[in-house]
Amino acid sequence: MFQIPDWAFEFHGHKCPFMPIGYRMGTLAMQKLRVNKSPNHEMHVLSEMGVGHPQGCMQDGIMASTGATFGKGLIEKLYYGKVAATFWYPEKGGIRIALKNEFADSLAPHEFFKFRKKGIQPSEIPEDVRQDIINRVLKATDEELFNVKMLPDFKYTPLKGSFNKTKCEVCGEYVFERYLRIKDGKKVCIPCSGQEPAEKGFYYPGFEN
């Protein structure tokens, strides 16, 4: 049976089946790409999940197994509302892994979801019910869980990091230069500019380095 380290459940905060599904998805991606957990900024993950639907817990599992964390800027969401993700690793190309409909359907009648649909949070569901559904995930084979597609030509260009920062001329707080805006001839931060932050870290080209 597949093993998930206890710390991953502690990090996630509760015991549910979706964090383990993500943990296994990330583990399989690393196996297929022949890489290890990323110590620095190697693996990038494009999660197809959105907001306001179940199974988002999967992404904590992906982060835990691959090291491609939110804090390191290595996972982003595509907002497709699908239980799938593409993993990209430098020099290795990509792989897309999606949860099989058949596996999702096989979990659906489980008692765990009867509690969830009544609005009961995972941490309040009886331990034996939670452990039973988690064991179903851990006992399944990769083939039962996932559709896998290797994407050897998948291209991804990570943003180049920069340590350059400047004081906002209005509030005086430091701001990393790619986020500076110009207002009334002053270099200011986004809140002081009154502008909307652009998606995906749009930066003011004049301050690129």
Indicate which single residue of 168, 179, 180, 187 sits in contact with Zn ion (rule: CB under 5 A): 168
Tell the smallest beta-carbon distance from residue 171 to Zn ion (Å): 3
Taking contact as CB under 5 A, which single stretch among the options 35-43, 46-54, 86-94, 187-195 is the one that binds Zn ion?
Answer: 187-195
What distances in angstroms separate CA 158 from CA 15, 41, 74, one per listed residue? 33, 9, 9
Residue 169 DSSP SS3: coil
Tell the smallest beta-carbon distance from residue 144 to Zn ion (Å): 21
Residue 151 gets the label, from left (phi > 0), alpha (psi -120 to 50) or beta, of beta
* Inter-residue contact 95 to 33 (CB < 8 Å): yes
Nearer to Zn ion among residue 151 and residue 171 (C-beta): 171
- Contact status: 189 vs Zn ion (CB under 5 A): yes
Q: DSSP character for 51?
A: S
* Inter-residue contact 185 to 155 (CB < 8 Å): no
Indicate which single residue of 104, 151, 159, 171 sits in contact with Zn ion (rule: CB under 5 A): 171
Nearer to Zn ion among residue 36 and residue 131 (C-beta): 131
What is the contact surface with Zn ion in residues (CB under 5 A)?
16, 19, 57, 168, 170-171, 189, 192
